[in-house]
Chains A and B, each alone.
Chain A
Amino acid sequence: MSQQETIAVAMSGGVDSSTVAAMLCAEGHTVIGLTLQLWNQRRLSGHEGMPEAVQGRCCSIDDVYDARRVAEQIGIPYYVVNQEARFERDVVQPFVREYLHGRTPIPCTLCNNHLKFDQLLLTARSIGAERIATGHYARNEYDPVRDRWILKRPADKAKDQTYFLFGLTQEQLSRTLFPLGHMTKPEVRELAEGYSLALAKKPDSQEICFIPGGDYKLFMEAYLEEQEQPLPDTSGELVTSTGEVVGSHEGVHHFTVGQRKGIQQRLNGHQPNPFYVLQINPDSHRVTVGTEDELLTRAMRVGDLNWISIASLGEPMRVQAKIRHRHEPAWATLQKVSDDEAEAIFDEPQRAVTPGQAAVFYQDDEVVGGGWIR
């Protein structure tokens, strides 16, 4: 970053990306602020129970104003780029589809793959910025020995966002800057205050940006109603792992593997031990429930792979696998099944391996690659 260049900063209106813009500006780069307009928060607000746009989410108009104010303050050109159509096609629709197929999707990763590091980078390059910078907590660097761009966990392990970035291609990594990768969140806030950014104390966003209030089931109903599509009937039976029918449910999208909430009330009779969701069958609509012990899994298949530190998987490889955002990576041996599928065998059985979530493989701080749990 020593050489001055034109860099587009993906600005969400939050502290992190605002600080990135201010930092790069201070370093003397020519900075252009870009915000993706991804979803119109008011679109489904007519549906019963759906809240009006909630403040402090990306996609909300207040965040655009915040980003614009920062851009004005630091004196950079700033633009909002409309990607609503692409977001709906590549993120929202798959999100709804996955739940209806008994899987638990991660929209943020899809958004990174299809919007932030694809469309946004394209727009950035179209307007003269060969690289983009984001406020993600991650590090990337080129390793001349392996001739590969490497994605690494950040200094602030609590803020690590590499789990959502496993889909980045070599080309994308080579054109991306993560200036916060070597900083901790408190340091970033301090820096933001140092730059007198008005939003230095703005709280972090937590929920899925296009689902204000966080009720994804309500969102799905509202979205399908807007699309004039009926919510498909995926009601079915609750069964134990031995096939015994113990209850019934009104739709597979109410469940995620490992879930305990909402099972008890759907059972026919009282069961001595608490039940958890073990498996969801998208065809029969059967939801298998069982004890906590039964949630433990030793092996998983992972598809739609993307490799980062390696060109491809050859020999079996020792990795630490992370199977959900808040999961502590666990030792596993990874082996090739096909070009597009791998199997991970954990040293210790893991709780609630959930189809639809990502599995990301690490070696120390490096991201080896990742894929989607089948």
Chain B
Amino acid sequence: MRRIYLDANATTQVLPEVLEAMLPFYTQRFGNASSIHQPGQQARAAVEHARASVATLLHCRAAEVVFTSGGTESDNLALFGALQPASEIARGDHLITSAVEHHAILNAAEELERRGVELTVLRPDRAGIISPESLRSAMRQNTRLVSIMLANNETGVIQPIKELAAIAHEGGALFHSDAVQAAGKFEIDAKDLGVDLLSISGHKMYAPQGTGALYVRRGLHLRPLLYGGSHERQRRAGTENLPGIVGLGRAAELAQEYLRAGGPQQLARLRDRLEAGILSGVPQTEINGEGADRVVNTTNLYFAHLEAEALVIALDLKGIAVSGGSACQSGATDPSHVLLAMGLSPERSRASIRFSLSRTTTEDEIDAVLATIPEVVSRLRALSPAWKSAVAV
């Protein structure tokens, strides 16, 4: 069966160029970047080359890039690191985040709250946007950190980070942004955005799983999560994941080329084509996050009167990989907390699915998806009691 992968926001394939760059570092060019000898020096050079590549992608200095094991670690390092500057947990410090964040932020924030940090969770408007006004009114004297994502994983909605960061700074707080779903999809200029901390993940940008980085503005002191050697300027102990870091560096270079070459504009055409095709070809469908600025590869669509879970399975059986809601431990689907936070009903949340295109998605694939979806949706709706009663009215 032909497989069409439209779940790039879950993970992406490792691009052949990335794999090619990584392979020598498993076998011939292995070495511990901390070693004094030649193999060690080679490894160090490779790590620093990758750091420079990531820095180029984020428009920051190489020294501001800390390699981590992925987006979750980057997010945790940002939150715990910034809120524990002293020797004990910062009781009474205030953290502001939003209800549409990834669980790597939400659950870390809740843990901080259990440890004595005051927590405010901002709600977005119906389009999924966190308004600067809502942040301004949530700011307090003791607000120490604000963490708002750059782009949402489920809807693709892009937040007004520049404005939000400025408000945080006015109030004397630091600003972190989870940019996992933004990196490589549009230009990110850490300095211009005005963020102090920014997370990225390798496997959302065609590098391997288990790689990531945190941008840490120069001069900002972070308390580490892990204790050990003095790696990563004492911000992240542990021998560097050499092949992974090389892969992330190469992926950052490829992302930069892709952005320069107008890749996002092309992808936007495909996404828009998919979106328009479904909206016109399938009755009672709507975009979630409509009206907001959205990442060009993502569309989250509501199909009235059906169960997204069944639609995802039915499409998978036809070779089309998409997602609906967030996967829980068993692999079942929970209704999306992001859509619920946007004020959409639980019914709508359970009837919405996400298509996230990748750089390798082709026009042909989009056509095939558009040819399949109406038939699959009709079948589901024909069996749906809610659809039957809606049609009868």
Contacts and interface: CB of A to CB of B under 8 A. Distances in A.
A208 to B, nearest CB: 19
A68 B331 CA distance: 10
Nearest to B329: A61
A287 B318 CA distance: 59
Nearest to A42: B329
A61 B310 contact: no
Contacts of A37: 328, 330, 332
B330 A61 contact: yes
B333 A82 contact: yes
Interface string B298-309: 000000001101
Interface in A30-77: 32, 35, 37, 61, 64, 68, 77
Contacts of B330: 35, 37, 61, 64, 80
B393 to A, nearest CB: 21
A275 B299 CA distance: 67
Contact of A80 (B310, B331, B380): B331
A209 B333 CA distance: 20
Interface in A122-181: 122-123, 125-128
B379 interface: yes
B314 interface: yes
B329 A127 contact: no
A80 B306 CA distance: 17
Contacts of A81: 309-310, 313, 332
Interface in A69-98: 77, 79-82, 84
Which of B310, B314, B316, B332 is packed against the most chain A CB atoms within 10 Å?
B332
Contacts of A127: 310, 313-314, 317
B372 to A, nearest CB: 12
Contact of A126 (B328, B332, B380): B380
Interface in B306-342: 306-307, 309-311, 313-314, 316-317, 328-334
Which of A35, A77, A80, A82 is packed against the most chain B CB atoms within 10 Å?
A82
A128 B317 contact: yes
Contact of A77 (B309, B311, B317, B329): B317
Contacts of B380: 126
A79 B314 contact: no
B383 interface: yes
Contacts of A77: 316-317
A228 to B, nearest CB: 19
B206 to A, nearest CB: 27
User: What band does the interface of chain B fall in when counting residues whose beta carbon is under 8 Å from A?
Assistant: 20 to 34
B334 A123 contact: no
Nearest to A77: B317
Which of B329, B330, B331 is packed against the most chain A CB atoms within 10 Å?
B330
Contacts of B333: 82
A82 B328 contact: yes
Given A37-B328, A61-B329, A61-B330, A122 B383 contact: yes
Contacts of A35: 330
A240 to B, nearest CB: 50
Contacts of B379: 126, 128
A326 to B, nearest CB: 32
B383 A32 contact: no
Contacts of B384: 126
A82 B383 contact: no
Interface string A114-126: 0000000011011
A128 B378 CA distance: 12
Contacts of B317: 32, 77, 127-128
A122 B332 CA distance: 16
Nearest to B325: A82
Which of B311, B314, B331, B383 is packed against the most chain A CB atoms within 10 Å?
B331
A128 B314 contact: yes
Contacts of B334: 82
Contacts of A126: 306-307, 310-311, 313-314, 379-380, 383-384
A81 B327 CA distance: 11
Contact of A125 (B307, B309, B311, B383): B383
Contacts of A84: 332
Contact of A79 (B306, B307, B328, B331): B331
Contact of B307 (A32, A61, A64, A123): A123
Contacts of A122: 383
Contacts of B383: 122, 125-126
A79 B329 contact: no
Which of A35, A37, A79, A126 is packed against the most chain B CB atoms within 10 Å?
A126
A69 to B, nearest CB: 13
Nearest to A32: B317
A324 to B, nearest CB: 32
Contacts of A68: 331
Interface string B123-162: 0000000000000000000000000000000000000000
Contacts of B307: 123, 126
Contacts of A128: 314, 317, 379
A128 B329 CA distance: 26
Contacts of B309: 81-82, 123
A80 B327 CA distance: 10
A64 B313 contact: no
A82 B334 CA distance: 7
Contacts of A125: 383
A141 B140 CA distance: 70
B333 to A, nearest CB: 5
A311 B132 CA distance: 66
Given A79-B316, A81-B313, A126-B306, 10 more contacts: A64-B331, A80-B331, A81-B310, A82-B332, A82-B334, A122-B383, A123-B307, A126-B310, A126-B384, A127-B314
27 contacts: A32-B317, A35-B330, A37-B328, A37-B330, A37-B332, A64-B331, A68-B331, A77-B316, A79-B316, A80-B331, A80-B332, A81-B309, A81-B313, A81-B332, A82-B332, A82-B333, A122-B383, A123-B307, A123-B309, A123-B310, A123-B313, A126-B310, A126-B311, A126-B379, A126-B383, A127-B310, A127-B313
Interface of A: 32, 35, 37, 61, 64, 68, 77, 79-82, 84, 122-123, 125-128
The 7 closest A-B pairs by CB, nearest first: A37-B332, A82-B332, A80-B332, A126-B310, A80-B331, A64-B330, A127-B314
